[in-house]
Amino acid sequence: MPAMHLHVIGICGTFMGGLAQLARSCGFRVTGCDANVYPPMSAQLAQAGIEVIQGFEADQLDLAADVWVVGNVARRGMPLIEALLNQNAPMISGPQWLGQVLLPRHRVLAVSGTHGKTTTSALLAWILEASGHRPSFLIGGVPENFGVSARLSPSLTLPLATAAVDGDRIVPFVIEADEYDTAFFDKRSKFLHYRAEIAVLNNLEFDHADIFPDLAAIETQFHHWIRTLPAAGRLIVNGRESALARVMDRGAWTPIEFFQHPEHWSIGPVQGGQDQEVFEVFWKGALQGRVASPLLGAHNRSNILAAVAAAHATGVAADQACAAISSFRGVKRRMQLRGEVRGIQVLDDFAHHPTAIATTLAGLRAQMQRLQSLGRLIAVLEPRSNTMKLGVMSSRLASSLESADVVFGYSGGLDWDLNAALSPLGSKAQAHADLQTLVAAVAQAAAPGDRIVVMSNGGFGGIHERLLAALA
């Protein structure tokens, strides 16, 4: 019997690309299409042997796929989507397919929040791996410990494409739980499809201005999700977040453990070294373990605490979870060193929301101070997310970049004035609409000892390689 054929529309997004790899591992035949193809996802798909078609043309209907898995990049008016609707072809969203086909075989650990989902998910997956649980996972980045963004647990018997669902759900599945909508035909948040047993609520701010009118609307989606969580599960909630407190006040039917909370999960004094931070972890005031973390900054300490709490809820001893952190190697595009030329480092980070930009720069600044670095911190920003493109966060940009010594912004494709938004920073900030002009300006400004951190949630036109070449 031939394997069922899935055609994934929007396959090069981090979520859909990971889903495609999982389906391929299960024994499904998988193809896909997308408009923009760039590493690391393009490399992962090629390595998995998954054919990717450029564009969304109607002639892909000739593939005669058994199921068309639709990502939220798909829109009415796309030739392929119109052809599928006219043919009444079987379409399903990526989150729904995952929730119906793969997740019922697992214990689902879902990590949500405006910031830190990828790092916390990667930490949690690594803690489980290091403690022998061999999890499946789907993460919106590439954890260096695994080298891929998605994996089926080696504990599962493959292929699964035609197998019955195993009623004994002992294998953990770590997944980023995104509040963004699911598909053009399903406007519910993605995480509503995941039926999590353990849910991490990291933080909550206004984002996704293209689909949510305000923070209250996002809080409502989070509470809709909480309504679906079982009483036998666990909620791991940041105790310092007022928005999450409002969500909890609406009602919860699942036991709650708070982190960043003196009466639940907390940390002791932090000792900072050149390349790590050391601190103790406490549960209700009792020492649980000691962490030697290669991740720096308050935001990463919060991510670590959330991951330790979630792993403990799964059955991992807290001291074992803490010990695993020391061998965590980070996530690509999360403060990743892309190269060094003439003593100038070029770093890559996914930060694209003002809060994430500020915490990224603050963490890097603290590290430079510990190292007594004499170089400058140069920030290069592409406002690329849908929220940023709408200009909703433009008034917060300047304050989020204050920790940098020099700021460069890319204004290409924006309908609002980036130079005006950066004007409170004075002469230390400038914006350019042409990418090559931007690269030349950054390279001319940089000097030995400086650190250039590039922040974008996209490929940014290959700027990292361009910068390294220009600096050379």
d(CA 60, CA 65): 9
pTM of the model: 0.82
Number of neighbours of residue 253 by Cβ within 10 angstroms:
12
Number of neighbours of residue 18 by Cβ within 10 angstroms:
27
Backbone angles phi, psi at 78, to 5 degrees: -65, 135
Q: Output the pLDDT for position 388.
A: 78
Strand partners, 32: 8, 52
Do 366 and 177 touch, CB atoms closer than 8 A?
Answer: no
Q: Are strands 107-112 and 51-54 parallel, antiparallel or unpaired?
A: unpaired
The letter for the amino acid at 347 is L
Taking CA atoms, 372 is separated from 274, 277, 342, 346, in Å, by 10, 16, 19, 19
DSSP codes of every residue in 50-68: -EEEES--GGGGGG--SEE
The alpha helices in 278-377, defined as continuous H runs, are 298-314, 318-324, 354-370
d(CA 68, CA 402): 46
User: Tokens standing for 82?
Assistant: 């119109």
d(CA 95, CA 15): 9
Contacts of 396 (CB under 8 A, 6+ apart): 354
Tokens 């940089």 correspond to 446
Provide the 8-state DSSP code for 4: P
- Estimate the crossing angle of helix 117-130 against helix 298-314, to 10 degrees: 40
Contacts of 8 (CB under 8 A, 6+ apart): 16, 19, 20, 23, 30, 31, 32, 33, 69, 71, 94
pLDDT along the chain (472 residues), means of 10: 88 92 94 82 85 95 96 95 96 96 94 92 97 94 90 80 54 93 92 95 83 89 95 96 95 96 94 83 96 87 96 97 94 83 90 83 81 86 81 86 93 89 93 94 93 88 91 90
Q: Output the pLDDT for position 169.
A: 64
Q: Output the pLDDT for position 431.
A: 93
Number of neighbours of residue 321 by Cβ within 10 angstroms:
28
Do 138 and 33 touch, CB atoms closer than 8 A?
Answer: no
* Domain ranges for the chain: 5-89, 98-327, 336-471
Q: Output the pLDDT for position 370.
A: 72
Q: Output the pLDDT for position 160.
A: 64
DSSP codes of every residue in 210-245: TT-SSHHHHHHHHHHHHTTS-TTSEEEEETT-HHHH
d(CA 243, CA 246): 5
C-alpha neighbours within 13 Å on the C-beta side of residue 223: 16
CATH number belonging to the domain at 5-89, selected among 3.40.50.720, 1.20.1060.10, 3.40.640.10, 3.10.20.340: 3.40.50.720
d(CA 472, CA 468): 6
Taking CA atoms, 162 is separated from 21, 28, 131, in Å, by 17, 9, 30
Q: Is the peptide bond before 354 cis (omega within 30 degrees of 0)?
A: no
Class of domain 98-327 (CATH, top level): alpha beta
Domains 98-327 and 336-471 share a fold: no
Q: Output the pLDDT for position 29.
A: 95
d(CA 121, CA 106): 16
User: Tokens standing for 126?
Assistant: 């690594």
Do 201 and 223 touch, CB atoms closer than 8 A?
Answer: no
Q: Output the pLDDT for position 165.
A: 47
Tokens 């900054």 correspond to 297
Class of domain 336-471 (CATH, top level): alpha beta
Cβ neighbourhood burial of 138 (10 Å; 0-12, 13-18, 19+): buried
